[in-house]
Every structure is written in structure tokens, then in C-alpha cells.
Amino acid sequence: MLMRRFFGFILVIFLLQQVFLSPVVLFAREEVPNNKFGIHIAKPHEEDIIDAAKLVNGNGGGWGYVTMVMQEDNRDAGAWQNKFDMMRELRLIPIVRIATKPDGLNWRRPTKEEASEWAEFLHSLRWVTEDRYVIIFNEPNHATEWGGRVDPQGYAEVAVAFATALKEKSPRFRVMLAGLDASAPSRTPYFEDSGTFLRIVVETIGKDRVNQLFDAFASHSYPNPGFSQAPTRTGKGSVRSYEWELQLLSQLGVREMPVFITETGWDANAIGRVQTAQNLEYAFRNIWLPDHRVQVVTPFILNYQDEPFLKFSWRKHQSTEFYPQYTTIQQMEKVVGQPKIVENGSISFAGFPSELVEDSKYHFIITLRNTGEGFWHDENGYRLELENTDPRDYLVADLYRIRPGDSVALDFYFKTGRASALQERRFVLYNGERKVLESDVWKYKVLPLPSLKIQSKLFPKLKTTSDRFELQIFNESEELVYKRNRIRVVDGVGDIEAIRNIAYGKTYRIVLLHKGYLPRQTYVTFGLGTNEIIFERMLPFDLDGDGTISFGDIWQGITRPEELASYLP
């Protein structure tokens, strides 16, 4: 009896510890902003992609979703890459539902052997976000969607083959089983009840493999019967069908997955366009948006101009205008999502000097190369900073539409203060507050200003004394970095103190000017202290001041001989 009480006491202590000290996590997901608004488009034409972005990102939103169909006979890598690139710039997240092609009245039934070809093609594309969302076909509990005969075991085998092939290509693929028609009857081989179908699929695959291979759950939560019921209805066959589906999956031992409602919507012919808009707004506000399990809702369908889906189209028939549901959802307040994006690239500052001078201004070029999948644009929150540096001491050009694969040269302006010891700085590319890239360390010192001693003579004078000299200094990019006029030269020697805007160890072109004389130039690499330059004798053959010998000089000599005489000793 004492032993039983002892072990009972130990058991109670253990259970209390588990309840009060151990966290119980029912649905673990990183808390990041997510724009749940999306739309389903039939074929991703450019016009529809633009309209989709205006819809799902309207009123403060960004990174909404688009579900679109990719057919086997439309796998043009260039065309699809262009669509993905366009969606990247418009901040849209693609959800790709793969499909075969029509075969008579049915969609051709795929085979397991086709999985590797699909995986190869999908992997060849440069996706928009790190997560690559793929749905394995569509409503296979309809015979017309599966070669004319419902076959849950066959679908399960195909789904496993496709999910496996995709995961082998990249762990970034987020794979979903096909969305099912939750209102289909059990009338094999033409239809199968979605619960029965899903149960057979999970049992065929095995719950452990389902948990391993599939990352989210695609749901077609339509307001049935008749696509016309109120959004307040619950249970299977309503806009809350996903809740019933999640409960069934839980009973089958499948973990709770993020829900992608990739199809939903009302028959506008049955209830009217205004009521359709009101129902959608109610469902978003009161059901889908508050539910943490729902990651996205992409109602069916943005633009469909033919039967049988014209009644679901948000775009008016043979028009560029939209029905009220478009404006209603567009005007709902949204958030800017923060999807994970594969960022890669480099920040190069090749040729930056290591020894600058105090109280000076510089213009350098930074090379920014984008080898990842982000779209670097200042309007998207990207910016380049020089870390640990007062923003008033530098300026970097705005980032403008830097696409994957681009390499751009950015202007970088920098100013120094007083002389200082060795400084170490990195250039950092940010997206919002998140670091995207870091450069290598730029190491530099700020040293005292150098001075310059010049020697110059004016032909044919024996002694040169004048205060009309001008000095110009050009860097390796032929930019004028320093200019000083009214330099006084006495007996052919002039001193210039505090030369700014140059870097030690760099070569500069030095130009000496004097009115009426041809310019002289030489090159110098500045060092600390006084730098000496000897110019060739200057010739009085530039009477018109254009820097060369020309007919204008001859004309000036003829018409103004007194000016020419002033240059003689």
C-alpha cells in the first residue's frame, strides 16, 4: 500500500510538472507579418498579374498571394521566369498548381514517372520567395480531374512520387496535396466523398510520410450547396470546410498544417454581385483573417470570360472593369508580409584608398551584384549603409530596380573630418531592419593635409613672378577634385598649402593654367608633407583662352597686338 501511494505521488508530481513547467505547443509558427489576401487566376497573363497585385496589395498591403495553374503543355521556362520576375517586382507570392492537359472531357491522368520531369522544370526557375508553394493537381475526387475514374490509392502514389521528387531537388519546396471538392457525393467511379477520399490517401501514404512530405494543406472551402450559402454556416461544405478537414487529418494522425484556401467564392448569378462582395468581406474579417491556421485565401477567380466559371469571375464580362467584390476586398486594410527571400550577392569597393586626408570630400563607386532572388529597390525597403558612420558624413545612391543577376555601379560620396587613426567600416545592405549582405572591411586612415610646391616659368620671360596662376587636380576618373586660383609664383616658385580631396598613394593629373598661355600638366602621386612638381615652360600661344593653339589665337594676335606684347619680357 505504501509503495502504491509513493508511486502515485511520483506520478502526480510528474503530471503537474508537465502541465505547469512544460510549454504545450499546439501550432508552432514563426510570428511574422503575413498578408493573407490572395486571388486565383486562370492563366498568369501580364494584365491579370498587375490587377492581382492591385487587389491583394491594396490599402497598405504587400506580398499577397496568387494561385495559378501550370499545365504540362505550357512549361516554357523563359515565359514562366518572366512571370515570376514580374511577380517579384509587384511583391506577389506564387502558389503553383500543376496540371496535365485536357484529354477529351477529362484531364489526363499523370503517372509517377512524370514526377522527375516536373521537379526538374520547377527547380530550374528562379522563384520569388524562399518557400516554393506547389499543389499536386486538382480535385482528384472528381473523375474528370483524374483521367475519367476516381482512384484515391492511385492519386496517393502519384502525390508521393511528385512530393519526393520535389523535395530531392530542394527542401525549399512546400508541397500540398490537391484541394478536394468537399461537397462531392460518394458515387464511384465518378465522384468520391472528400472525407473518404482523404482518409484513403492518408492511409495509403501513411501518416508519418504525410507529415514528412507535405508542408501545408490546400482547401477548397466553398459555401455549398450551390455556391450560394451564407458565410455564417459551418462544417463540411461551407467556407469553414478547412476546419472539418483539419479535424479529420488530426484523427488520422496528421499534424496540424498551415491552411491554404486556394479556392472559395460565391455564384454571383445566384446571390448577386453586391451580396457576393459582402459575403467575402464578412468571411475575411470574421473567419479567415482571425484564424491563425489560415495562411492565405485565394478566392476563385480573378478573370474568367467563358462558361462555366463566368459566374465566379471578378472581372466584368468583356470589360476591363471589375465587379464590387474586387473593390471591396481591395479597400480592406492589409499588412505588408515578410516572406523569406533567398538573398545573395556581393558589395565591392575595389580601388578604395586606404589613406585619406582630413576635411575632404570624395566620390567613389561601389559595385553591388545581386545573385539571389530579391528585388533590390528602395521602395521595397532596401538601402545600403556604411556601418558605424554618421549618416551626415556619407551618401549612397538610391537602389533602383536591381533584379536578380544585375550588377550595378552606385555613387558613394564621403567626407572626412579631422585626422584619425585606422578606421574599419563595412557596407551593409538592409531590407527594413534586416541585414541582407555585408561587404568586406574597408580599412582607412585620415591623415594631415599635404602641401604642394610648384615650379613654372613663362616663356620668354627670364624671371616669372605672377599671381594669375590656377591649379586644377583631377583624379583617375577625370573628376575635378581640387581647384585653386590666384596662386602667386615668385621667381618661378609657388607654394600651395592644405591640398584637400586627394588620397595618398593615388595618382592625380595636375593642370597648371595662366591667362594667355597654353596649359601644362603632369602627374603626381601624393605623399605626406610637401610634394614638389616642376612644369615645363609655359608658351604664350593661347590668346583666346581655349586651351589649344587655334585660328582664334592668330586672330587675337592680329587684332589685339597689345595683348600679345604684354606676354613679352
What CATH code is carried by the domain that includes residue 489? 2.60.40.4130
- Quick one: 161 and 290 in the same domain? yes
Judge if 218 and 350 occupy the same domain. Answer: no
Residues 556, 426 share a domain: no
- Tell me, what CATH number does 428's domain have? 2.60.40.10
Alpha-carbon distance values, 142 to 2, 224, 469 (Å): 64, 16, 91
Query: What's the confidence (pLDDT) of residue 259?
Result: 98
Residues of the chain with pLDDT under 70: 1-30, 547, 550-569
How confident is the model at residue 557, as a pLDDT?
Answer: 56
Whether residues 120 and 160 share a domain: the answer is yes
Q: For residues 16 and 99, what is the distance between their CA atoms, to the nearest angstrom?
A: 52
3-state secondary structure of 68: strand
- 441 and 492 together in one domain: no
Using the 3D structure, point to which of 384, 416, 446 is the last residue of a domain. 446
The DSSP annotation for 137-193 comes to SS-TTBGGGTTTS--HHHHHHHHHHHHHHHHHH-TTEEEEEPP-BTT---BTTTB--
Q: What is the pLDDT of residue 11?
A: 39
Same domain for 391 and 317: no
How much is the pTM? Answer: 0.84
How far is 317 from 330, CA to CA, in rounded Å?
19
Structurally, the chain folds into a number of domains equal to 3
Q: Are residues 278 and 363 in the same domain?
A: no
* Residues 417 and 462 grouped into a single domain: no
Residues 395 and 472 in one domain: no
Residue 482 pairs in a beta bridge with: 473
Q: Distance of CA 434 to CAs 77, 346, 428, 442, Å?
A: 32, 16, 10, 21
Does the residue 12 lie in any domain?
no
Q: How far is CA 265 from CA 138, 139, 227, 302, 332, in A?
A: 17, 16, 7, 11, 17
Same domain, yes or no, for 172 and 140? yes
Residue 337 lies in a domain: no
Rounded to whole angstroms, the Cα distance separating 297 from 38 reads: 5
Is residue 413 within 8 A of residue 363, CB to CB? The reply is yes
Amino acid in the structure at residue 166: L
Q: Determine the pLDDT at residue 25.
A: 34
Q: Of how many residues is the chain composed? A: 569
pLDDT at 475: 97
Q: Do residues 438 and 470 both lie within one domain?
A: no
Hunting for cell 575595389 — which residue is that?
Answer: 350
428 lies in a domain? Answer: yes
Is 27 inside any structural domain? no
Longest dimension (CA), the chain: 133
| Exposure on the CB side of residue 513, measured as CA atoms within 13 A | 16
Q: Is residue 18 part of a domain?
A: no
pLDDT of residue 6: 39
Q: For residue 536, give the 3-state DSSP assignment.
A: coil
| Domain of 501, in residue numbers | 451-565
User: Does 481 reside within a domain?
Assistant: yes
Last residue of a domain, one of 421, 446, 471: 446
115 φ, ψ to 5°? -60, -45
Residue 187 lies in a domain: yes
Which residue, 420, 314, 425, is CA-closest to 366? 425
pLDDT score, position 561: 62
First to last CA, the chain: 130
Counting Cα atoms < 13 Å in the Cβ hemisphere of 160 gives 18
Question: CA 286, 287, 292, 294: dihedral to nearest 10 degrees?
Answer: -140
Q: Which domain-ending residue is among 330, 362, 377? A: 330
* Domain assignment present for 336: no
* Strand ranges in 315-450 using DSSP code E only, listed in sequence order: 345-348, 355-357, 361-370, 382-386, 394-396, 407-415, 420-431, 434-447
Question: What CATH number should be reported for the domain holding residue 73?
Answer: 3.20.20.80
Same domain, 401 and 434: yes
Give CA–CA dist 125/130, Å, rounded: 12
